[in-house]
Structure 1
Amino acid sequence: MIPETIYSKYSQAMFDIASEQKKLTEFGTELKGVRDTFQENPDLWKFLNHPLVPPQSKKDTLAKIFKDSLSPIVLQFMYVMIDRRREAALLLAIDGFIDLARKAQHIEVAKIRVVKPLSKKEETKLVASLEAMTGQHIEPLYYVDPSLIGGMVIQIGDKLIDGSLRRQLRDMQHKLLQADVTNGVTDE
């Protein structure tokens, strides 16, 4: 586990630059793209973290991959971490920046588990109702979970909204069992 002190100063420095330039959203989007690229390409992540690969080779590779899609400042952010041999903390630093940006923009993350992906119209309607309910901007993160059977489960911070069919069936079973016990019905 990488200590927070190692990556938080990079997150904070990037946040300060983005705030000063009024580019929190832009840099956040770019850094999410970098994070997603590393998560989707584990070999690239291994290459970046290999101790025998020289820093310049790592930076050249990142430049080839990202130069057309990232701001020079975002590339420089990654280069500084590589030069200081902190590439193993890069994803944590990116996540730290994203958290700081969300707080500054009053954005709450909603982790939404659904049985199957929602249509764009359904997503828009759901986010609008969650924003109305919380009074916050909502950034939805969708997860497909067939075990729900139907409905959805939404977690926003420490609040949990369980509208799954699985929970409703469990509640119904519990009520039926309670009614049986109350009425003296047994399996004998």
Structure 2
Amino acid sequence: MAELSTLARPYAKATFNAALESQALAEWSQQLATLAVISEQADVQALVTNPALSANDKAQVLKDVAGDTLGDGTRSLIDVLAENRRLSLLSEIHTQFEAMKAEHEKSADVVVTSAYSLNDSQQQTLTDKLSTKLGRQVNLSVEIDESLIGGVVIKSGDLIIDGSVRGKLTKLADAMNS
């Protein structure tokens, strides 16, 4: 996995810089998301790794599948990736691009997993407190997992805050067994 990350980084940086320069971060983000979804399909992965097809053929198939959703810059990216036999990096390039975009926009995607649904007031309170803690605009999404028993688990990138009853019981059991 680290190898994919390392290989994708220069492409992601170049793509991010091109998007920033053209003031089209949102458009590039959407187009890369589309390409990431397409590239993760089993049929497309088989095509990308097929040694019998030329780089141009692979690139053309991807462009045809994506259709009119791609701009000229994204089409050029596909061509470059195909020439360098790096089409398998599309998903990782998208992931890294999104991280750079979030850093640039001073935003963070936060997933809150709760034992019960949260009302609008609770979500707003969490958003406000997390925005202050992280120093970023927070894009909050809530998931329900009844196995938590109570409380919440908050995830944002590498940050994980486990305030769930299940998490506390697990810590207690570990402490007792040590």
TM-score range, shorter chain: 0.7 to 0.9
| One-letter amino acid matched to 2:79 | Y
Provide the TM-score with structure 1 as the length reference. 0.71
Instruction: Label 1:88 to 1:159 Cα distance change in 2 as closer, same or farther (>3 A).
Output: closer
Matched, 1:23 2:27: no
Q: State the match for 2:58 in structure 1.
A: 58
Post-superposition offset of 1:123 = 9.6
| One-letter amino acid matched to 1:31 | L
1:123 and 1:49 map into 2 onto residues whose CA distance is 48
Aligned residues: 174
1:23 and 1:121 map into 2 onto residues whose CA distance is 32
Contiguous gaps of at least 5 residues in structure 2: none
Choose 131-140 or 143-152, whichever is displaced more: 143-152
Provide the TM-score with structure 2 as the length reference. 0.74
Post-superposition offset of 1:17 = 0.6
Instruction: Label 1:170 to 1:85 Cα distance change in 2 as closer, same or farther (>3 A).
Output: closer
Identity, % of aligned pairs?
A: 23
For the 8 Å contact 1:115–1:146, the answer to whether it is kept is yes
**Secondary structure in 1 aligned to 2:7?**
helix
Q: State the match for 1:8 in structure 2.
A: 9
Matched, 1:75 2:75: yes
Post-superposition offset of 1:30 = 2.2
Q: Who wins on radius of gyration, i.e. which is larger?
A: 1
The Cα RMSD (Å) is 3.4
Q: State the match for 2:94 in structure 1.
A: 94
Post-superposition offset of 1:129 = 4.8
**Secondary structure in 1 aligned to 2:155?**
strand
1:102 and 1:4 map into 2 onto residues whose CA distance is 17
Post-superposition offset of 1:51 = 2.3
**Secondary structure in 2 aligned to 1:138?**
strand
Provide Cα deviations, 1:123-165, integer angstroms capped at 9, x if missing partner.
9635455324433022446666553244431123454322323
Contiguous gaps of at least 5 residues in structure 1: 178-188
Provide Cα deviations, 1:62-100, integer angstroms capped at 9, x if missing partner.
122212222221222122101221122232222222222
Provide Cα deviations, 1:16-45, integer angstroms capped at 9, x if missing partner.
110101112221132123223333x22222
